[in-house]
Amino acid sequence: GLLSMPMVQDRLLDRALARAMNRAIPEPPAGGLRVTLCGTSSPVPHPTRAQACVAIQVDHRLFLVDAGAGSANVAALAGLPLERLEAIFLTHFHSDHIAAIADFALLSWVAGRPVPLALVGPSGVTQVAKGLNRLYALDGGYRVRHHGPDLLPPDLHDLVPRTISPGVVYDEGGLVVQAFTVDHHPVAPAVGYRFDYGGRSVVVTGDTVVNDALREAVTGADLVLADALSPTLVDALVRATRAAGRDRQAAVFEDIRDYHASTADLATLARDADIGLLALYHLVPAPRNALMARIFARGLPDEVILTEDGTAFLLPPDSERIEHLP
């Protein structure tokens, strides 16, 4: 047939690549915010979801909250403008929140990021940055020698750490980012972040339980992206792993129940807190099918959203409208 002919194959390939390369870059509403979920899973392995990562676009700036394994691929395939990446805000230093930092550093460097990439987080972030810089020093050197310093400036390779405390951690061009302490005991320090811009606000909780401090931090926010655990699904995992003789794995599942926000507590938060929309990410465990999704959503108000990788939200300025792009 025609598809067996190299000339036809090449022509079809050229057309497909042209469409892919000319795909429009996702942009935020003028003067507003765009939020893209680049990772919605947890350390529990999932075949199609990346680990925790939220991308927030403000005008021509791009920021991340956390960078879990696989999330850089999601961001790149979603067409996010990685050359505009200014900073990665880390909530804490569990592996499922930091494993893709180097991937984002490389992809944004190759894409033409014009400034060093800031790694922002609580005490400990300097250790993470220095470790990654040392780990990837050889890789960076190879790439500079291969492609040349004009294409890949060596001074833009290394991460630049910045240690923050609760309070305002970024205030430029109308965007204000605040960090607040969360309870992820025994992990400490651990923080969440609130982004305010154009009269709109987005909160990313990171990993936490629901308590009075969290309720205060989310008050008045338009969009809250919250860590979420389904006790019903976790209990089922404990039973299944115990029955299979996997006692070590069962012990881990038992331990995670007390330092993530349960769906029951999140249901109360959604009903009682002064927030516009509650969307759940870092799902423990992330549903693999429609049945698991229904179980995860038990007891949650209908308006609460279980996000997936690629889910996006648009927040126009000075409005209450939130456009949900599944």
User: Which residues does the annotation mark as catalytic?
Assistant: 96
Residue with token string 């894409």:
111
C-alpha Rg value of the chain to the nearest Å: 21
In whole angstroms, what is the distance from residue 216 CA to residue 208 CA? 14
Q: Report strand pairing: 167-172 vs 160-163.
A: unpaired
Q: Are 83 and 156 in contact (CB under 8 A)?
A: no
The three-state DSSP-derived secondary structure of the chain is: CHHHCHHHHHHHHHHHHHHHHCCCCCCCCCCCEEEEEEECECCCCCCCCCECEEEEEECCEEEEECCCCCHHHHHHHCCCCHHHEEEEECCCCCHHHHCCHHHHHHHHHHHCCCCCCEEEECCCHHHHHHHHHHHCHHHHHHHHHHHCCCCCCHHHCCCEEEECCCEEEEEECCEEEEEEECCECCECCCEEEEEEECCEEEEECCCCCCCHHHHHHHCCCCEEEEEEECHHHHHHHHHHHHHCCCHHHHHHHHHHHHCCCEHHHHHHHHHHCCCCEEEEEEEECCCCCHHHHHHHCCCCCCCCEECCCCCEEEECCCCCCCEEEC
